[in-house]
A and B are shown apart, each in its own frame.
Chain A
């Protein structure tokens, strides 16, 4: 495997390298979802495409928001907004682990220098009615990737099985750059000009932490939650799974904000999770039927002129 032509010691060089690599493996490089989500899995290019028999390979960067993880820009490792690089391969190829390890080599990681390990870690997303088995991948004791074979998505059995690879970009970059503090990460380097992660995001972390923990309007958020929930149900009735799914994502993020404001008691918490899961399951079923009605287009041979 040739080393990357990009500067992998910068965050943007790392992303470019991963995109180029996975593009060569037949992945459709899509762009981030333009909505607030807690993980790359929520992007319809993963969650919905994992449903049904159609093959699919995709890779993309996804900004993720986890309001409760905010630390006002003061913690060297925790942020409420961060990036995942998401790869999904359906069906999971026999050599998926090899493909993944090659991507690390392309990033300049030498498996005979760094200790790379697949450590059992099973994944479950209660709000999505989804679970899978797999590992977290360790590089010298640091979890840099979550690697999962989806078994169920939206309550539906996965046939075929999707292999999901989720790189934690900041962690991986911190390890590649040998940096202890997230805000010291080099985002880009042009000549002598260095832009750091802090330059790009520190103010955002401070302000968003204040918003998430102190300013988010709880009453309005509850209203929003119920509005999105009703809209999602209405859209499912109308056989419009894609807009219905967007409403699910909105309920999910609203819930996360309410959680950060400690507005949801522990009992209610489970209750809200179940509400979102019910919607996600209904969307999954509706999406499956919609694809079926289209005769699962990606199962058909594609001819090129």
Chain B
């Protein structure tokens, strides 16, 4: 397409919004949406361009659109007026109708043309060429719209302005080719000037053309391209570790942190520091958390995954005195780690078990009592789970109750007070210190798993039960006070909690019927919950999560529906069936058997109310196909029922697949709705047995 446009007909376009420091975690999203919105609007306005590139730094959002057409294409509009013979009178003079039409087109009648559809059908008409608008006129409203549409969680005002944006705006560049588009956007007079690095570049810089934007900024110590900056940071970290610590060390580079740091600097310079070896006695997770979350540093570990007493920070300058910069950072880290060390020491003077009482002072939810109350329920619920899963080992039962008792105790410690993200992890270390058993300590840490989509699951059975109990208690409680999640509002993280339970049950192959557990959990809330149908609602909610998750795993909607329609409430069992049905669907017998099930289901639907009796009477058979089906049924029934007892769904479906021929023959040869009621009912009963057998696994009539 661009071949058709001569050089003079397109130019590059640049827009830059120069601001005060933007929120780092939102930056890349803002940059991408800004670029996307501009591209969408250009396309909608019929303005052709080749590609667009987004730039972002802490102090700017910019988009460079390459080869953007200088005008919209002209458009031709043909308007149809009165029929030719009504347009001119006998003297070939235009009639009032014709004059009116010409007037509406803004031309003399002589300028009208004749539109001929066929020799018999002719009209007067007018062909109008709409000149495309010039791109520089169209751009300001496009940019304005893109800014308004940005997904900004909290907009702000500043000074005396009524404008709202993420952070105050200092300048806006609108450059088309070498020309500035001057207008006012968000109270700002647009131009071609911006600022470079906050400290390296004092004067305003002129951008001569869009293509020179990044290069010009680089001269002023700004790497405008976030991807480029990110890569620089990554390489600099590797380089520092390699030259300072050698090949036995490696930096812990967390992607989210790398993104955040990229959004905090315009001129990245990686520089490393050290902390006292003695701090390595603090739990490793706490050290990492202090460095990553609080200081945005990259920790360093050795080959075995053990932390080394080093960190890397990404500064925004190439310091004149790096040792001063590092000393400052080391001082801050030292203060933080001293705090953590202090809490870690003092917390240990009081065992977790003595802290349980203090949970009475920490509220779980205003209407749901304290964490102490929750703890009591956890003990009951976890013990109940153990009993219905037939766990009889006395030691294990004791460990479950102990872990439930201590599960939340670390929330009263100074370490968790200071570093809330260490909940569970602190409990683990303190439990070991208190000489609790390893499996109790593990459960304190692991019952928070999975924390997010795709996170690892608890490793032991005790951890799993505690994780399930904790989440189910929360789900029931919050549903019980009518705080169901709506839309994107899910302040208690109930979706994540529900999916967590589902994943644990399925992936850890725990055969648990949720219905009983939910009812038990509801009954153990005192005072009783307001919402009397909470258990049923939570079940539905959890099954909904299960459905979505299975779909994400690649199972088709009809497969899932075929299983879920049976009204089951054991996630592991449901998942087993879904696997089997998905596999069955690919067998040659599937479509024919699914069709047969649909037919049977339709026929039987009319007889729901009527009793068809219980036993098929072979005496009443007329056709060979009836006997064949009945025999096949008897042959497989016994086997299927025993397979059902062990939930061997693939094998059951294998058996059922062998019914294909007898069923097909039956429908080919037998008229079910025969006049003779006795025979008719006998046949219906036979079909009913067939259908019931299939429903042992799923309603395969629902397969598409």
Contacts and interface: CB of A to CB of B under 8 A. Distances in A.
Interface in B297-330: 297, 313, 315-317, 319-321, 324-329
B204 interface: no
Contacts of B335: 76-77, 180
A113 B321 CA distance: 5
Contact of A133 (B156, B200, B297, B332): B156
A243 interface: no
A119 B264 contact: yes
B20 A115 contact: no
A113 B327 CA distance: 12
A71 to B, nearest CB: 9
A111 B199 contact: yes
A193 interface: no
A110 B320 contact: yes
Contacts of A266: 361-363, 370
Interface string A169-209: 00000110010100000000000000000000000000000
- Interface residues of B, dominant DSSP: loop
**Interface of A, helix, strand, loop or mixed by DSSP:** loop
B158 A112 contact: no
B154 interface: yes
Given A113-B321, A120-B24, A142 B316 contact: no
Contacts of B363: 265-267
Interface string B9-47: 000000000001111110000000000000000000000
Given A93-B159, A122-B154, A141-B332, A115 B320 contact: no
Interface residues of B, number: 49
Interface in A81-104: 91-94, 97, 101
B452 to A, nearest CB: 22
Given A114-B319, A118-B20, A142 B158 contact: no
A32 B154 CA distance: 33
Sorting the interface of chain A by its residue count into under 10, 10 to 19, 20 to 34 or 35 or more gives 35 or more
A197 to B, nearest CB: 15
A77 B23 CA distance: 28
Contact of A175 (B156, B321, B328, B339): B328
A262 B20 CA distance: 41
A139 interface: yes
B342 interface: yes
B361 A265 contact: yes
Contacts of A92: 158-159
Contacts, number: 121
Given A77-B339, A117-B264, A180-B331, A91 B160 contact: yes
B208 interface: no
Contacts of A168: none
Contact of B361 (A163, A180, A262): A262
B206 interface: no
A149 interface: yes
Most chain A CB within a 10 A radius of its CB, from B264, B313, B333, B335 = B335
A142 B331 contact: yes
A75 interface: yes
Contacts of B328: 114-115, 139-142, 175
A90 to B, nearest CB: 9
Given A119-B264, A120-B21, A140-B325, A112 B154 contact: no
B354 to A, nearest CB: 16
A257 interface: no
Name which of B154, B157, B324, B342 has the most chain A CB atoms within 10 A of its CB.
B157
A135 B264 CA distance: 12
A84 B81 CA distance: 79
Contacts of B154: 122, 133
A63 interface: no
Given A140-B332, A265-B363, A76 B320 contact: no
Contacts of B329: 140-142
Given A110-B320, A115-B319, A265-B363, A75 B342 contact: yes
